[in-house]
Chain A
Amino acid sequence: MPEKPEFFLPDPEGLTPSAEGYFGAFGGKFIPEALVAAVDEVAAEYEKAKADPAFAAELNELMANYTGRPSALTEVPRFAAEAGGARIFLKREDLNHTGSHKINNVLGQALLTRRMGKTRVIAETGAGQHGVATATACALFGLECTIYMGEVDTKRQALNVARMRILGAEVVSVTSGSRTLKDAINEAFRDWVANVDRTHYLFGTVAGPHPFPALVRDFHRVIGVEARRQLLERTGRLPDAAVACVGGGSNAMGLFHAFLPDAGVRLVGCEPAGHGVETGEHAATLTAGEPGILHGSRSYVLQDDEGQITEPYSISAGLDYPGVGPEHAYLKDTGRAEYRAVTDDAAMQALRLLSRTEGIIPAIESAHALAGALELGRELGPEALLLVNLSGRGDKDMDTAARYFGLYDSEEAGK
């Protein structure tokens, strides 16, 4: 790893949120008074940590020797043959310890937790990847850990529930609302209000109240910084597009951020279209939502005409969320990034295609980015160079995939 920790690279001018946490019209801090002191403490501690070389050194050491950074950059020509002949490189966040990008943010916040003298960590999780990463860091640092997960998700991601429990975390199955990620976050906030003295809420995406959108982004920006350097070394040029899936948007922000000043690089976020945006059964917040407030910041949200949040749907538990990070809202409105919606079916086909052509089984979340890259490659033609963030691996999704493709013996026998 370079001496200067990569997440401290100065923000491109004008992109740091304002002191109040705004990216243009989006962001801010819409939280109950009981949490203001705690959220301010996180912000203050993060500012101190950024100025402390010991913090950077410890995080760097963890990234190199625990997470296994830098993660590989893999060219996938057999997969790319289906994308109009474009060259496609995958940033292999799936090869990180715990199997996804989530560990980047978790280790940074675990160090912050220790600096704040807190002994307990809570977190929300959708697909379970953030929960597993958080449970892992808590095991490593000796912190008490409670993970909130919607009941629907504890069922479709049962493997990750078992992983969290074996790591020593308590997993609470949330039965309110749509019983998915949104409701897990609600429940985590309720826990935080009641136990804030000794508890840090290790927020898992680039949403939530300031400073979380910027803080989580900073811990993930190593993804784009590494990928940009690796791709230049390998191909001598920047990509035509950087592509990532977007639920809350953390892996996408981590990839995009290093490319923001590179005007020639299209930044393409792939949102879950579920059964199709036109069916209403989707979680394509930037495509079909409107500005509103959810979980502490102003951004795009899926809501009705009176501000009630509508229930999202996606086959992917990690993208099944009616909100999105405020910096994505800002990038959408300024036109710097573009967002397209990818259906369940397209994502599942891409998952199988990558598995069969390259021997890499992606998470269903990441498969949305792969499907987007296939589309984009066909649009751009054979000269195109695409960088795709493979944010997580698909082990956790094998039950969903087996049912989707009818891979279980009993189901095959029934056909």
Chain B
Amino acid sequence: MSGTIELLQEALAHAKAENRAALIAYLPAGFPTVDGGIEAVKAAFDGGADIVEVGLPHSDPVLDGPVIQTADDIALKNGVRIADVLRTVREAHAATGKPVLVMTYWNPVDRYGVERFAAELAEAGGAGCILPDLPVEESEGWRKAAEQHGLATVFVVAPSSRDERLARITAAGSGFVYAASLMGVTGTRASVGEQAGELVRRTRATTELPVCVGLGVSNAVQAAEVAAFADGVIVGSAFVKRILDAEGDEAAGLAAVRALAAELAEGVRKRG
């Protein structure tokens, strides 16, 4: 079975046709439990997310702020395994028919086996993978496996990326480009940096791929602001925080995820 990169491309094209940005949610697998995490992904879709990135928790999440670190810790303490992550992708995709990606650090994939991971993610109906600590220079082996299995390879670009690097990265990527709105780790911010618009403009000059913006977005106003210049708005920590704030009340957490997705879905339709 092939991965669902086409579904990802269609979702982004569909949002574009509606003259809006796509809403992309991030939720870690295994948090607060494996089944609870699957329900959270479904709730995000139900509330209006177009695409979901499922986090594969890592012991050393150097690019994540305290909120996602906490969620990863909980998931790992509960013993989450890669099989659970793949089940999360499979069940969320099967229930919704929507594109589901995996986001994780490189060591778990490297250790599991590049070909094995790509094959099993595709088999689960996954659309692709985001590997933020795998730079383009080290990515050839992964990209070959991903392409063969119908998976997108989404690269992250940063405000510090120079133009010639941007071109090299976007030429290697597929699905979309993840533009980090600011220099920093994941987490909600009071304002989304002004650097984001400039980065999207510079990135677009190098590629036809949609450019989606993440890091720091937590509410509808910010989503609308980013939607004014980006093809997609990526929200992670704000979703995770809703579940943490529910303090173990799973139904309340899911309702909060659904409500946030709905709020953000409205935001991406306002376009600033």
Given known pairs A32-B63, A193-B184, the reply for A37 and B160 (CB within 8 Å) is yes
A31 adjacent to B81 (CB under 8 Å): no
B174-190 contacts to A (CB < 8 Å): 180, 183-185
Given known pairs A30-B134, A32-B156, A182-B60, the reply for A308 and B69 (CB within 8 Å) is no
A308 adjacent to B59 (CB under 8 Å): yes
> Which of these, B76, B132, B159, contacts A308 with CB under 8 Å?
B76
Distance A176 CA – B133 CA, assembled complex (angstroms): 20
Given known pairs A31-B135, A36-B161, the reply for A307 and B112 (CB within 8 Å) is yes
Question: Most B CB atoms within 10 A — which of A28, A33, A176, A196?
Answer: A33
B107 adjacent to A33 (CB under 8 Å): no
Given known pairs A34-B158, A36-B161, A196-B183, the reply for A308 and B108 (CB within 8 Å) is yes
Distance A301 CA – B108 CA, assembled complex (angstroms): 12
- The answer, yes or no, to whether B109 is at the interface (CB within 8 Å) is yes
> Which of these, A29, A195, A306, contacts B135 with CB under 8 Å?
A29
- The answer, yes or no, to whether B165 is at the interface (CB within 8 Å) is yes
Given known pairs A33-B155, A36-B161, the reply for A186 and B62 (CB within 8 Å) is yes
Measured between beta carbons, the chain A residues less than 8 angstroms from B134 are 30
The 8 A CB mask of A181-196 against B (1 = contact, 0 = none) is: 0100010011001111
- For A186, the closest partner residue in chain B by CB is B62
A-B interface pairs (CB < 8 A), number? 105
B183 adjacent to A186 (CB under 8 Å): no
Given known pairs A29-B138, A33-B155, A305-B111, the reply for A190 and B62 (CB within 8 Å) is yes
- For A182, the closest partner residue in chain B by CB is B60
CB distance from B81 to the nearest CB of A (A): 6
Distance A189 CA – B133 CA, assembled complex (angstroms): 12
A177 adjacent to B59 (CB under 8 Å): yes
- The answer, yes or no, to whether A292 is at the interface (CB within 8 Å) is yes
Measured between beta carbons, the chain A residues less than 8 angstroms from B63 are 32, 190, 193
Measured between beta carbons, the chain A residues less than 8 angstroms from B157 are 33
Distance A51 CA – B180 CA, assembled complex (angstroms): 36
- For A29, the closest partner residue in chain B by CB is B135
Measured between beta carbons, the chain A residues less than 8 angstroms from B185 are 190, 193-194
A33 adjacent to B162 (CB under 8 Å): no
Distance A295 CA – B61 CA, assembled complex (angstroms): 10
- For B156, the closest partner residue in chain A by CB is A33
- For A185, the closest partner residue in chain B by CB is B62
Measured between beta carbons, the chain B residues less than 8 angstroms from A292 are 107, 110-111
Measured between beta carbons, the chain B residues less than 8 angstroms from A194 are 183-185
Question: Most B CB atoms within 10 A — which of A20, A195, A292?
Answer: A292
Distance A185 CA – B125 CA, assembled complex (angstroms): 36
- The answer, yes or no, to whether A72 is at the interface (CB within 8 Å) is no
CB distance from B161 to the nearest CB of A (A): 6
CB distance from A43 to the nearest CB of B (A): 13
B160 adjacent to A30 (CB under 8 Å): no
CB distance from B175 to the nearest CB of A (A): 16
A177 adjacent to B160 (CB under 8 Å): no
Distance A196 CA – B161 CA, assembled complex (angstroms): 13
A306 adjacent to B132 (CB under 8 Å): no
B55-88 contacts to A (CB < 8 Å): 58-63, 65, 69, 73, 76, 81-82
Distance A37 CA – B160 CA, assembled complex (angstroms): 6
B180 adjacent to A186 (CB under 8 Å): no
> Which of these, A28, A33, A193, A303, contacts B111 with CB under 8 Å?
A303
- The answer, yes or no, to whether A38 is at the interface (CB within 8 Å) is yes
B106 adjacent to A33 (CB under 8 Å): no
Distance A195 CA – B183 CA, assembled complex (angstroms): 7
CB distance from A97 to the nearest CB of B (A): 32
Measured between beta carbons, the chain A residues less than 8 angstroms from B58 are 307-308
B110 adjacent to A307 (CB under 8 Å): yes
- The answer, yes or no, to whether A293 is at the interface (CB within 8 Å) is yes
- The answer, yes or no, to whether B137 is at the interface (CB within 8 Å) is yes
- The answer, yes or no, to whether A294 is at the interface (CB within 8 Å) is yes
B60 adjacent to A309 (CB under 8 Å): yes
Distance A176 CA – B60 CA, assembled complex (angstroms): 9
> Which of these, B81, B111, B135, contacts A30 with CB under 8 Å?
B135
Given known pairs A32-B156, A33-B135, the reply for A306 and B183 (CB within 8 Å) is no
CB distance from B83 to the nearest CB of A (A): 9
B6-65 contacts to A (CB < 8 Å): 58-63, 65
Interface residues of A (CB under 8 A from B): 20, 28-34, 36-38, 176-177, 182, 186, 189-190, 193-197, 292-296, 301, 303, 305-310
**Nearest 10 A/B pairs, CB to CB:** A307-B111, A307-B108, A34-B158, A194-B184, A307-B107, A37-B160, A308-B59, A293-B107, A189-B62, A309-B59
Between A and B, 29 residue pairs with Cβ closer than 8 Å are A28-B138, A29-B135, A29-B137, A31-B133, A31-B135, A32-B133, A33-B132, A33-B135, A33-B158, A33-B161, A34-B156, A36-B165, A177-B59, A177-B60, A182-B60, A186-B62, A190-B62, A193-B184, A196-B183, A197-B183, A292-B111, A293-B107, A294-B107, A303-B111, A305-B111, A307-B111, A307-B112, A308-B58, A310-B59
Interface residues of B (CB under 8 A from A): 58-63, 65, 69, 73, 76, 81-82, 106-112, 132-135, 137-138, 155-162, 165, 169, 180, 183-185
Known: A34-B158, A293-B110, A307-B110. 14 other contacts (CB 8 A): A30-B134, A30-B138, A31-B133, A34-B183, A36-B135, A36-B160, A176-B73, A182-B60, A292-B107, A292-B110, A306-B81, A306-B111, A308-B58, A310-B59
